[in-house]
Protein backbone atom coordinates (compact mmCIF):
# COMPACT_ATOMS: atom_id res chain seq x y z
CA UNK A 1 0.00 0.00 0.00
CA UNK A 2 1.12 3.53 -0.79
CA UNK A 3 0.64 5.69 2.31
CA UNK A 4 0.67 9.37 3.27
CA UNK A 5 0.92 11.02 6.68
CA UNK A 6 -0.88 14.33 7.22
CA UNK A 7 -0.37 15.80 10.70
CA UNK A 8 0.78 19.22 11.90
CA UNK A 9 2.80 17.72 14.78
CA UNK A 10 6.36 16.67 13.77
CA UNK A 11 6.57 14.16 16.63
CA UNK A 12 3.29 12.54 15.60
CA UNK A 13 4.52 12.18 12.01
CA UNK A 14 7.80 10.74 13.26
CA UNK A 15 6.01 8.15 15.41
CA UNK A 16 3.86 6.92 12.53
CA UNK A 17 6.89 6.88 10.23
CA UNK A 18 8.88 4.75 12.68
CA UNK A 19 6.01 2.30 13.13
CA UNK A 20 5.59 2.00 9.37
CA UNK A 21 9.25 1.02 8.98
CA UNK A 22 8.31 -2.36 10.46
CA UNK A 23 5.57 -2.90 7.86
CA UNK A 24 7.17 -4.22 4.67
CA UNK A 25 3.99 -4.04 2.60
CA UNK A 26 3.48 -0.30 3.19
CA UNK A 27 5.41 2.32 1.22
CA UNK A 28 5.44 5.80 2.69
CA UNK A 29 5.34 8.22 -0.24
CA UNK A 30 5.08 11.50 1.63
CA UNK A 31 4.16 13.44 4.75
CA UNK A 32 2.56 16.86 5.14
CA UNK A 33 1.72 19.25 7.97
CA UNK A 34 -1.75 20.32 6.80
CA UNK A 35 -4.51 19.33 4.44
CA UNK A 36 -4.01 22.24 2.05
CA UNK A 37 -0.50 21.27 1.00
CA UNK A 38 -1.44 17.57 0.80
CA UNK A 39 -4.30 17.96 -1.71
CA UNK A 40 -2.22 18.18 -4.94
CA UNK A 41 -0.03 15.12 -4.11
CA UNK A 42 -3.13 13.10 -3.19
CA UNK A 43 -4.76 13.84 -6.52
CA UNK A 44 -1.52 13.13 -8.40
CA UNK A 45 -0.25 9.99 -6.66
CA UNK A 46 -3.59 8.51 -5.45
CA UNK A 47 -2.35 6.85 -2.23
CA UNK A 48 -4.09 3.73 -0.93
CA UNK A 49 -3.94 4.83 2.70
CA UNK A 50 -3.74 8.14 4.59
CA UNK A 51 -3.02 8.70 8.27
CA UNK A 52 -4.96 11.92 8.78
CA UNK A 53 -5.00 14.24 11.78
CA UNK A 54 -8.39 15.81 12.47
CA UNK A 55 -7.28 19.07 14.09
CA UNK A 56 -4.85 21.08 11.96
CA UNK A 57 -4.40 24.80 11.21
CA UNK A 58 -5.47 26.29 7.86
CA UNK A 59 -7.34 23.16 6.69
CA UNK A 60 -8.38 20.35 9.03
CA UNK A 61 -8.90 16.70 8.13
CA UNK A 62 -12.62 16.98 7.36
CA UNK A 63 -12.14 20.09 5.24
CA UNK A 64 -9.43 18.37 3.22
CA UNK A 65 -11.54 15.28 2.53
CA UNK A 66 -14.44 17.43 1.39
CA UNK A 67 -12.17 18.76 -1.38
CA UNK A 68 -11.62 15.28 -2.84
CA UNK A 69 -13.92 13.57 -5.30
CA UNK A 70 -15.57 10.33 -4.23
CA UNK A 71 -13.31 8.43 -6.63
CA UNK A 72 -10.17 9.90 -5.03
CA UNK A 73 -11.01 8.89 -1.46
CA UNK A 74 -8.42 6.39 -0.16
CA UNK A 75 -8.63 4.35 3.03
CA UNK A 76 -8.39 6.79 5.95
CA UNK A 77 -7.09 6.15 9.45
CA UNK A 78 -7.85 9.25 11.49
CA UNK A 79 -5.35 10.26 14.18
CA UNK A 80 -6.95 12.45 16.81
CA UNK A 81 -6.88 13.68 20.37
CA UNK A 82 -10.68 14.07 20.48
CA UNK A 83 -12.49 12.91 23.59
CA UNK A 84 -14.87 9.94 23.73
CA UNK A 85 -17.96 11.96 22.85
CA UNK A 86 -16.49 13.35 19.64
CA UNK A 87 -15.22 9.89 18.71
CA UNK A 88 -18.79 8.60 18.54
CA UNK A 89 -19.00 10.07 15.02
CA UNK A 90 -16.21 7.78 13.84
CA UNK A 91 -17.71 4.76 15.57
CA UNK A 92 -21.20 5.36 14.17
CA UNK A 93 -19.83 5.38 10.63
CA UNK A 94 -17.37 2.51 11.29
CA UNK A 95 -14.37 4.65 10.41
CA UNK A 96 -11.06 3.59 11.95
CA UNK A 97 -9.14 6.02 14.15
CA UNK A 98 -6.13 6.17 16.43
CA UNK A 99 -6.66 8.09 19.66
CA UNK A 100 -3.48 9.92 20.60
CA UNK A 101 -1.26 8.88 22.25
CA UNK A 102 -1.74 5.44 20.67
CA UNK A 103 0.28 2.29 21.34
CA UNK A 104 2.06 0.15 18.70
CA UNK A 105 -0.44 -2.67 19.17
CA UNK A 106 -3.38 -0.38 18.38
CA UNK A 107 -1.50 0.99 15.37
CA UNK A 108 -0.99 -2.53 14.00
CA UNK A 109 -4.67 -3.29 14.54
CA UNK A 110 -5.77 -0.24 12.55
CA UNK A 111 -3.27 -1.05 9.80
CA UNK A 112 -4.56 -4.61 9.60
CA UNK A 113 -8.09 -3.26 9.10
CA UNK A 114 -6.76 -1.21 6.19
CA UNK A 115 -5.16 -4.30 4.65
CA UNK A 116 -8.43 -6.20 4.95
CA UNK A 117 -10.34 -3.40 3.24
CA UNK A 118 -7.83 -3.41 0.39
CA UNK A 119 -7.60 -7.19 -0.02
CA UNK A 120 -11.38 -7.62 0.08
CA UNK A 121 -11.75 -4.81 -2.43
CA UNK A 122 -14.14 -2.96 -0.19
CA UNK A 123 -12.79 0.46 -1.12
CA UNK A 124 -16.23 1.44 -2.42
CA UNK A 125 -17.73 0.57 0.95
CA UNK A 126 -15.04 2.58 2.74
CA UNK A 127 -15.68 5.52 0.41
CA UNK A 128 -19.39 5.39 1.18
CA UNK A 129 -18.68 5.43 4.93
CA UNK A 130 -16.39 8.43 4.56
CA UNK A 131 -19.00 10.23 2.48
CA UNK A 132 -21.60 9.57 5.19
CA UNK A 133 -19.22 10.88 7.87
CA UNK A 134 -18.48 14.05 5.87
CA UNK A 135 -22.18 14.60 5.21
CA UNK A 136 -22.86 14.33 8.94
CA UNK A 137 -20.23 17.00 9.71
CA UNK A 138 -21.34 19.36 6.92
CA UNK A 139 -25.13 19.18 7.15
CA UNK A 140 -25.60 19.27 10.89
CA UNK A 141 -28.34 21.45 12.36
CA UNK A 142 -27.51 25.06 13.31
CA UNK A 143 -25.47 25.16 16.47
CA UNK A 144 -27.23 25.44 19.78
CA UNK A 145 -25.58 26.48 23.01
CA UNK A 146 -24.93 22.88 24.06
CA UNK A 147 -23.27 22.12 20.72
CA UNK A 148 -20.49 24.67 21.07
CA UNK A 149 -17.12 23.56 22.40
CA UNK A 150 -17.33 22.77 26.09
CA UNK A 151 -13.64 21.97 26.42
CA UNK A 152 -10.43 22.00 24.39
CA UNK A 153 -7.74 19.35 24.15
CA UNK A 154 -4.24 20.76 24.61
CA UNK A 155 -1.58 18.41 23.25
CA UNK A 156 2.04 18.33 24.39
CA UNK A 157 4.84 15.79 24.04
CA UNK A 158 3.99 14.18 27.38
CA UNK A 159 0.23 14.50 27.83
CA UNK A 160 -3.15 15.74 26.67
CA UNK A 161 -4.80 18.33 28.93
CA UNK A 162 -8.54 19.02 28.91
CA UNK A 163 -9.40 22.71 29.37
CA UNK A 164 -12.97 23.87 30.00
CA UNK A 165 -13.85 26.72 27.65
CA UNK A 166 -15.75 28.42 30.49
CA UNK A 167 -12.41 28.81 32.32
CA UNK A 168 -10.65 30.50 29.40
CA UNK A 169 -10.23 34.25 29.96
CA UNK A 170 -8.92 35.18 26.54
CA UNK A 171 -7.37 33.66 23.43
CA UNK A 172 -4.64 35.41 21.42
CA UNK A 173 -3.14 34.47 18.06
CA UNK A 174 0.56 33.64 17.81
CA UNK A 175 1.48 32.84 14.22
CA UNK A 176 0.03 29.44 13.29
CA UNK A 177 -0.99 28.87 16.91
CA UNK A 178 -3.19 30.46 19.53
CA UNK A 179 -2.59 30.93 23.25
CA UNK A 180 -5.50 30.40 25.65
CA UNK A 181 -5.13 32.07 29.05
CA UNK A 182 -6.56 30.19 32.04
CA UNK A 183 -5.58 31.85 35.32
CA UNK A 184 -1.79 31.89 35.50
CA UNK A 185 -1.42 29.24 32.79
CA UNK A 186 -1.09 29.70 29.05
CA UNK A 187 -2.11 26.81 26.79
CA UNK A 188 -0.81 26.62 23.22
CA UNK A 189 -3.28 25.25 20.65
CA UNK A 190 -2.49 24.29 17.06
CA UNK A 191 -5.56 25.99 15.63
CA UNK A 192 -6.36 29.29 13.99
CA UNK A 193 -8.23 32.00 15.86
CA UNK A 194 -10.95 32.04 13.18
CA UNK A 195 -11.50 28.29 13.50
CA UNK A 196 -11.91 28.56 17.27
CA UNK A 197 -14.20 31.56 16.98
CA UNK A 198 -16.66 29.54 14.90
CA UNK A 199 -16.87 26.86 17.57
CA UNK A 200 -17.12 29.03 20.70
CA UNK A 201 -20.43 30.17 22.14
CA UNK A 202 -20.93 33.78 20.90
CA UNK A 203 -23.00 34.59 23.96
CA UNK A 204 -19.82 34.21 26.04
CA UNK A 205 -16.93 34.80 23.64
CA UNK A 206 -16.41 37.81 21.37
CA UNK A 207 -13.59 38.68 19.01
CA UNK A 208 -12.33 42.13 19.93
CA UNK A 209 -9.60 42.39 17.30
CA UNK A 210 -7.88 40.47 14.55
CA UNK A 211 -5.69 38.78 17.12
CA UNK A 212 -7.80 38.30 20.25
CA UNK A 213 -11.00 36.74 21.60
CA UNK A 214 -12.21 37.43 25.14
CA UNK A 215 -14.56 35.59 27.46
CA UNK A 216 -17.13 38.21 28.49
CA UNK A 217 -17.38 36.66 31.95
CA UNK A 218 -13.83 37.85 32.66
CA UNK A 219 -14.16 41.41 31.34
CA UNK A 220 -13.89 43.98 34.14
CA UNK A 221 -14.11 47.21 32.19
CA UNK A 222 -13.50 49.04 28.92
CA UNK A 223 -10.87 51.74 29.06
CA UNK A 224 -10.72 54.75 26.72
CA UNK A 225 -7.40 55.11 24.89
CA UNK A 226 -6.18 57.81 22.53
CA UNK A 227 -7.97 58.66 19.25
CA UNK A 228 -11.23 57.11 20.43
CA UNK A 229 -9.83 53.58 20.74
CA UNK A 230 -10.64 51.30 23.65
CA UNK A 231 -8.87 48.64 25.66
CA UNK A 232 -10.52 45.62 27.26
CA UNK A 233 -9.40 45.15 30.86
CA UNK A 234 -9.82 41.65 32.27
CA UNK A 235 -10.51 40.96 35.94
CA UNK A 236 -6.86 40.12 36.60
CA UNK A 237 -5.73 43.41 35.04
CA UNK A 238 -4.61 42.05 31.67
CA UNK A 239 -5.16 44.68 28.95
CA UNK A 240 -6.09 43.92 25.34
CA UNK A 241 -6.51 46.48 22.56
CA UNK A 242 -9.97 46.49 21.00
CA UNK A 243 -10.50 47.36 17.34
CA UNK A 244 -14.12 46.22 17.27
CA UNK A 245 -16.88 48.85 17.49
CA UNK A 246 -17.66 50.02 21.04
CA UNK A 247 -21.43 49.78 20.51
CA UNK A 248 -21.21 46.15 19.47
CA UNK A 249 -19.05 45.40 22.50
CA UNK A 250 -21.43 47.20 24.88
CA UNK A 251 -24.36 45.23 23.48
CA UNK A 252 -22.48 41.95 23.90
CA UNK A 253 -21.67 42.80 27.52
CA UNK A 254 -25.24 43.81 28.24
CA UNK A 255 -26.70 40.53 27.05
CA UNK A 256 -23.94 38.16 28.21
pLDDT at 141: 44
CA 95, 97, 101: angle at the middle one, nearest 5? 170
pLDDT at 121: 52
Residues 6+ apart with CB under 8 A from 181: 168, 169, 170, 171, 172, 238
Domains 2-138 and 145-255 agree in fold: no
Q: Which residues are registered as beta bridge partners of 37? A: none
The pTM assigned to this predicted structure is: 0.54
CATH number belonging to domain 145-255? 2.40.50.1020
2-12 pLDDT, tens digit per residue, is: 999 999 888 88
What ranges do the domains of the chain cover? Answer: 2-138, 145-255
Residue 19 has pLDDT above 90, yes or no: yes
151-196 pLDDT, tens digit per residue, is: 888 877 777 788 889 999 999 998 888 999 999 999 998 888 888 8
Average pLDDT over all residues of the chain: 81
Determine what percent of the chain is predicted with pLDDT higher than 90.
33
Mean pLDDT score, 131-154: 62
User: What is the 8-class DSSP label of residue 143?
Assistant: P
* CA pair distance 13, 161, nearest whole angstrom: 20
C-alpha distances (whole Å) from 209 to each of 174, 176, 240 are: 13, 17, 9
pLDDT at 142: 41
CATH class, 2-138 region: alpha beta
Q: 129 or 34: whose pLDDT is higher?
A: 34
pLDDT at 228: 67
Amino acid sequence: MKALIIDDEPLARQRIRMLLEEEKDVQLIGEFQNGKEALPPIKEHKPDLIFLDVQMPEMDGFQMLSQLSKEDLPIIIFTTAYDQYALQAFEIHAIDYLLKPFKPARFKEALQHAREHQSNRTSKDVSNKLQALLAATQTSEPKQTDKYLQRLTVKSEEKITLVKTADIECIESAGNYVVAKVGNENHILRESLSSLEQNLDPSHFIRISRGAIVNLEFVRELSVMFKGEYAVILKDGKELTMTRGIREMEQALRFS
